[in-house]
Structure 1
């Protein structure tokens, strides 16, 4: 099994040509499209996350992995502890398959899941629910089938507010923003039979998920860095005050924050006890534009060349796998190997075929493979039932994604 020492030994970065040759050799016996994970890159990325976390545990964001075999792999590595899940159904499934520390990072209205959770003390001990409204407690109680105590995590709104609140920078998540908001709600939860506050979560997506070095956009990059510096300082003060307020109500087991793009700044806060990360394991294209770290693309998908419409053009099968979020060019996958390919601006990444332009196209033959990187991480696994795990130039194991296990949680 992977270790940080092994990751360090294999951390030398191959050339793009060498990577392409390895992936082509490893998958030559497979029909495309195919999805692969380069284990040397995956392990090196994991080791780098642990290094950046500076001794604080990294909780793995499962939505960015969506493959149990790879979740299990990373959880065996020193420095990683627990899973951050995205639905209650997924949380219960992971707990039943052996994950003993699952933090559900989003509120749920899953009544059958509530019934299962409250009727099974072992599940209730393994899963922590995120709650930010009394109505969510009411839903849990209405579906309750047993006396099992529900572990509760509260969430702090991390958005930066400017000009007296008229401008907001950050995701719209929790309605609770101030230490007093959280303290009063924690007191309400603690008074309610069958619930116990055990943690605080605060995800600073405007720092963790926004690159600060956008190619060709120096002014925009500078503005992002200024915004993030202000946001970090404001949030650090407010998060620390919130933790102090909550500890007057209950003994917190954890204070979770951050993401792949903010690991260093998040763990620098004394109030934070753990950091969440997942995308940094696969390193999709949205994480190319950060000054603070450089990873290795580990998850890729290969599409076969099926047409050669003319000079400087090839067409691959499928490939139109857009990422979630506000629509734009940055939500499309990016042709990665061979280098030098780009989309036809009139067609983009297509549902059933994708033309690619560039001089590199003239060296591609029918049946050759073009390797792409997805814009985001785990969403790739919603398009493929299995991942082929590559070591060197061999597929050493083929493992199911969530979809391959017939689990489509969202």
Structure 2
């Protein structure tokens, strides 16, 4: 297992990464272990002593999760589907499913297995979720661990303005308490946690180029203050109904502000380990890029262009330029605006394009961390100038959860 606690030198240069992986067939994905170690340590520092639950959707590689969880400061996993959680829980004893599930077959598997039921926590934000879980679980068996999701969005103008992800309908403390009472009243369920994800802070850079960053900063300051007060009240209201094992908050981009709240007992993070380019524009932290994918030049359509095979590894979210991968090595390359990153080919332009030849390689960064792993079977780990391992992604293990 990769040891993330050992002293490490500075992140590898592209010359080092290229030399170490020169014999690999493209496409392939590389993790710079030195950068990964630095990022993991920085996440722990930013959490200020509160444990970090690893967001699996931003990693999607069990080997990297094992190494991260072995590092002091990390504890438990925040999964994104119940089938994934059941798979992970065979070796990880604390897995929270970060999103509600309607997978009744998986719920039955959970309810029929004492070990899994003791390790996996389901997310709900309505009585309908509770009823679906209870119906699928059946009348007897181990109690199902339940976490309530509190909506963390900022609502202004009497709710007419909504800033943040549209997730839970549970926004007010009294709504959280009412749902807590419904859980406690159900004989098949046990309330153990509360979660709130402040996407408008965690997932939105406050240092984007242009004037918009000033609006983002003002919004985030207001949201931090509003959520701290409301989350504290909601947690107190739920705790008046039942004791809680944990209160989870935040994400890579909001660790400091989330961890500063007394009501929050743990924070969640995953993207900060690999630092995709979505996280390049924050004032609060500056992670080191740790993950790349590499494609080969296969065409020279003009003296000013070079075309690589593949490249259309587009990130989820609202369609836009910020969802596209970016070429980072050789320096001086850019996508062609009319074509972007294509399914089978990606033409590149810029000063460096004229120097590229058939067979040369171009290094890219993905917009998001875990989604890179949906395109490759393994991550090649490079440390101190050499390939030290190649570890399977979920795809490489034959798992496609979503």
CA distance in 1, matches of 2:3, 2:21: 25
- 1:395 is matched with which residue? 387
- 2:283 is matched with which residue? 291
Extract structure 1 runs of 4+ deviating beyond 4 A. Answer: 1-5
Moved more, 258-267 or 21-30: 21-30
2:370 is aligned with 1:378: yes
Contact in 2 for aligned 1:4/1:78 (Cα 8 Å): no
CA distance in 2, matches of 1:374, 1:170: 23
What TM-score, normalized to structure 1? 0.96
Q: Which of residues 189, 197, 200 in structure 1 aligns to 2:194?
A: 200
DSSP 3-state at the match of 1:276: strand
Q: Encode CA deviations 1:228-261: one digit per residue, 9 max, x unaligned.
A: 0000000000000011111111111100000000
DSSP 3-state at the match of 1:108: coil
DSSP 3-state at the match of 1:182: helix
Kindly report which structure 2 residues correspond to 1:8-47, keeping only aligned pairs within 5 A, or say none: 9-10=7-8, 12-14=10-12, 19-47=13-41
Moved more, 26-35 or 83-92: 26-35
CA apart distance, 1:307: 1.4
The number of residues matched between the two structures is 401
2:110 is aligned with 1:117: yes
- 2:258 is matched with which residue? 266
CA apart distance, 1:142: 2.1
Q: Encode CA deviations 1:375-402: one digit per residue, 9 max, x unaligned.
A: 1110011111111111122211111110
DSSP 3-state at the match of 2:89: helix
Contact in 1 for aligned 2:271/2:369 (Cα 8 Å): yes
Q: Encode CA deviations 1:47-95: one digit per residue, 9 max, x unaligned.
A: 0000000100000000000000000010000000000000000000001
DSSP 3-state at the match of 1:301: strand
What TM-score, normalized to structure 2? 0.98
- 1:171 is matched with which residue? 165
Q: Which of residues 58, 75, 79 in structure 1 aligns to 2:52?
A: 58
Q: Which of residues 345, 357, 360 in structure 2 aligns to 1:365?
A: 357
CA apart distance, 1:5: 4.6
Q: Which of residues 216, 225, 230 in structure 2 aligns to 1:224?
A: 216
Unaligned runs of 5+ in 1: none
- For the aligned residue pairs, the C-alpha RMSD in angstroms reads 1.2
CA distance in 2, matches of 1:386, 1:327: 27
CA apart distance, 1:345: 1.2
CA apart distance, 1:162: 1.0
Unaligned runs of 5+ in 2: none
